């Protein structure tokens, strides 16, 4: 018998051959039952039904009984019975009919019937009928899906059993963080479905990709040497006539290149103006453009905003843009007026944090918005300022300075990357680590390869294995 926590017997003692228990259910094979099992509710002390099952599994589906019926003599049972699911009240959720049942991930069960496979959900209900050659249950961003295979072709169902992708593709892939279901024809083409099962774009001859930084809003479709752009709604925005695209979504522009020419588009796919040698969108609603031997600026409509009178024109940043006339560099405002006089610099960079790098005789210093030199021309190379610090190279080694040129990290690194999420990747003796904005080594160089930090973690490669680390260098997960 079983007793409760008060020591009370839950049912009259019975001589048993075998007994198992899980939660409030027990499976008993009593003497005289011919090694058959009955399911007992320990809360009431009553059997749930009168059936004597050849086998009862209380562990594969918590809270339920997986029962097996076999109509022949017990001594002839060879493991090939009919399986069904009974709930904790004795109600048959799924009648005995399956030849095998196997636990899968996320509480689901794979069931087999006549050599075909389907899926039972965690409540014992048939979520996918057993009509497929194979079924697996991948998880996509935490949500399970059913991916069946029939005659060498894959499809996809959601966890409610709703068809998302017809069973007709050579592959159906779900990538973490990717907004679309990726399908392939097994040759050169692939296509995208969204999470509701809507076909977003038709097959491309060589492939589809989501451009970095567009958050799935745009999809590039390649056809031979040419590429076009689809919106996530499935609408073709830019025809398949260009070799590559660059995206400046914060400012509302896309730049397409075809052979040696650049073209400006807005994010609705409208082409603005004609062909240029180069286009470089910046702030203040202006785009640096070069045509022939001269450079100027375009407005949001693609019309000339600042005349093409410069030899080089760089994008606007913090309200100023570097321009070169002849051999001298200066800075103009959005109206085209000279804000910092032309000087004998060899090059001039963008303003960040109110400072801009300028170069003279192959060495770099920093000026403020009035054109005053704040640091000497002492650096062989320099990155732009960010949050009050800049990465600079002295000789062959990189270090870190503040706005006054004071050294925060001595020149000691062979290579560096920009700050991201408060840390910058640095390389020393072939290994990568990270420094903070005070120049301290937050994580000593020890990695073979790295990614920038984002939301407090970064992917790094160590001893041939990719792992995810936090800002103290502690491993938080392995990554395949």
Q: How far apart are the first and last CA of the chain?
A: 50
- CATH code: domain 379-480 is 2.20.25
**pLDDT below 50 — which residues of the chain?**
none
Quote the pLDDT of residue 432.
98
Residue 15 is classified by DSSP as: -
Task: Quote the pLDDT of residue 204.
Answer: 76
Distances in Å between the Cα of 230 and the Cα atoms of 200, 254, 451 are 9, 13, 29
Query: How high is the pLDDT of residue 233?
Result: 87
pLDDT at position 72: 87
The span from the CA of 2 to the CA of 15, in Å, is: 12
Are 456 and 468 within 8 A, CB to CB? no
One CATH from 3.30.160, 1.20.1070, 2.40.128, 3.40.50 for 1-98: 2.40.128
Question: What does the domain layout of the chain look like in residue ranges?
Answer: 1-98, 379-480
pLDDT (0 to 100) of residue 18: 67
Do the first three CATH levels of 1-98 and 379-480 match, i.e. the same topology?
Answer: no
Q: Quick one: pLDDT at residue 436? A: 97
* CA neighbours closer than 13 Å in the CB half-sphere of residue 349: 20
Q: pLDDT value at position 94?
A: 86
Interval 390-435: pLDDT, tens: 999 999 999 999 998 999 999 999 999 999 999 999 999 999 999 9
- Model pTM above 0.85: no
């Amino acid at each position: 018998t079983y007793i409760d926590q008060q020591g009370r017997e839950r049912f009259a003692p019975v001589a048993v051959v075998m007994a198992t228990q899980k939660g409030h259910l027990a499976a008993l094979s009593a003497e005289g039952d011919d090694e058959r099992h009955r399911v007992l509710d320990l809360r009431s002390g009553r059997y749930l039904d009168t059936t004597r099952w050849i086998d009862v599994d209380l562990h594969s589906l918590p809270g339920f009984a997986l029962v097996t019926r076999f109509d022949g003599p017990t001594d002839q049972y060879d493991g090939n019975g009919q399986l069904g699911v009974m709930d904790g009240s004795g109600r048959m959720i799924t009648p005995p009919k399956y030849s095998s049942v196997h636990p899968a991930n996320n509480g689901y069960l794979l069931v087999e019937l006549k050599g075909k496979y389907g899926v039972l959900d965690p409540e014992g209900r048939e979520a996918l009928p057993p009509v497929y050659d194979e079924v697996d249950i991948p998880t996509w961003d935490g949500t399970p899906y059913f991916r069946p295979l029939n005659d060498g072709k894959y499809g996809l169902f959601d966890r409610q059993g709703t068809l998302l992708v017809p069973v007709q593709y050579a592959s159906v892939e779900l990538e973490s963080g990717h907004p679309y279901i990726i399908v392939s024809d097994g040759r050169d083409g692939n296509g995208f479905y969204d999470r509701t099962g809507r076909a977003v774009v038709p097959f491309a001859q060589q492939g589809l990709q989501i451009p970095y930084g567009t958050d799935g809003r745009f999809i590039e479709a390649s056809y031979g040497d040419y590429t076009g752009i689809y919106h996530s709604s499935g609408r073709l925005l830019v025809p398949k006539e260009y070799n590559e695209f660059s995206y400046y979504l914060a400012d509302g522009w896309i730049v397409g290149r075809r052979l040696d020419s650049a073209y400006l588009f807005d994010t609705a796919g409208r082409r603005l103006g004609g062909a240029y040698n180069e286009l470089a969108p910046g702030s203040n609603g202006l785009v640096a453009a070069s045509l022939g031997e001269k450079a100027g600026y375009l407005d949001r409509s693609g019309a000339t905003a600042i005349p093409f009178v410069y030899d080089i024109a760089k994008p606007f940043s913090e309200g100023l843009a570097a321009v070169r006339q002849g051999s001298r560099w200066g800075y103009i405002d959005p109206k085209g007026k000279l804000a910092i006089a032309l000087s004998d610099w060899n090059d001039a960079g963008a303003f960040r944090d109110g400072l801009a790098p300028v170069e003279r005789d192959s060495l770099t210093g920093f000026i403020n918005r009035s054109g005053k030199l704040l640091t000497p021309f002492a650096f062989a190379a320099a990155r732009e300022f960010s949050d009050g610090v800049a990465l600079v190279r002295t000789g062959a080694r990189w270090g870190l300075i503040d706005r006054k040129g004071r050294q925060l990290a001595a020149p000691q690194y062979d290579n560096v990357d920009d700050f991201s999420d408060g840390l910058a990747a640095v390389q020393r003796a072939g290994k990568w680590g990270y420094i903070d904005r005070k120049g301290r080594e937050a994580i000593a160089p020890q990695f073979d390869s790295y990614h920038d930090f984002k939301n407090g973690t970064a992917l790094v490669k160590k001893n041939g294995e990719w792992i995810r680390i936090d800002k103290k260098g502690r491993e938080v997960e392995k990554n395949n």
